Amino acid sequence: MEPSTGNDFDEMLMPMLGLAEQMLEKRGSFHPFGARLAASGSLAVIDVARTLDQPSNPLILDALYATFRLEARAGTIKACAVCWDAVSAEEEGGGLTDAIVIGLEHREGDPKVVLCTYERAPSGDLHFHDPITAVGRRHVFGTVLLS
């Protein structure tokens, strides 16, 4: 990964992870949201579902990716990220755990996905684990082949 790609991912990742953690602590859940890094370098957080009652509605993800695809085609963004609340397999024990997931894409690098699992203590406090990074999937940048 190019150093600038990694820096761009870091610039989006930390604010998004912090915002997701804040929403979880305040409300117990959150609906998907995104962030875009403009070609000029400015960062903006995108919330397309402020009034939606269903936090896990997959149509929100579709709307975010569709918005970012249009902006990528127009050349106005160089990177984007989408964040959602998910359930993931635990690293140990084979059970399920809650997780914040952030999909990161860049026009000049490989996509990444960051998974940050968390659990609620009996006291109600949230405990966030260290994020894990893996290879992601392209939704915005790249060529789509039609058959």
pLDDT in tens, 37-65: 999 999 999 886 655 555 566 788 888 99
**Lowest-pLDDT range of 13-17, 50-54, 69-73:** 50-54
Per the domain annotation, does 26 fall within a domain? Answer: yes
What DSSP string describes 30-91? ---EEEEEETTS-EEEE-S-TT-S-TT-HHHHHHHHHHHHHHHHHT-EEEEEEEEEEEEE-S
> In the chain, how many domains are there?
1
Per the domain annotation, does 141 fall within a domain? Answer: no
Compute CA 104 distance to the chain's CA centroid, rounded to the nearest angstrom. Answer: 6
Per the domain annotation, does 143 fall within a domain? Answer: no
Contact of 86 with 101, CB cutoff 8 Å: yes
Per the domain annotation, does 88 fall within a domain? Answer: yes
Per the domain annotation, does 140 fall within a domain? Answer: no
Domain hosting 95: range is: 3-135
Per the domain annotation, does 87 fall within a domain? Answer: yes
Contact of 118 with 24, CB cutoff 8 Å: yes
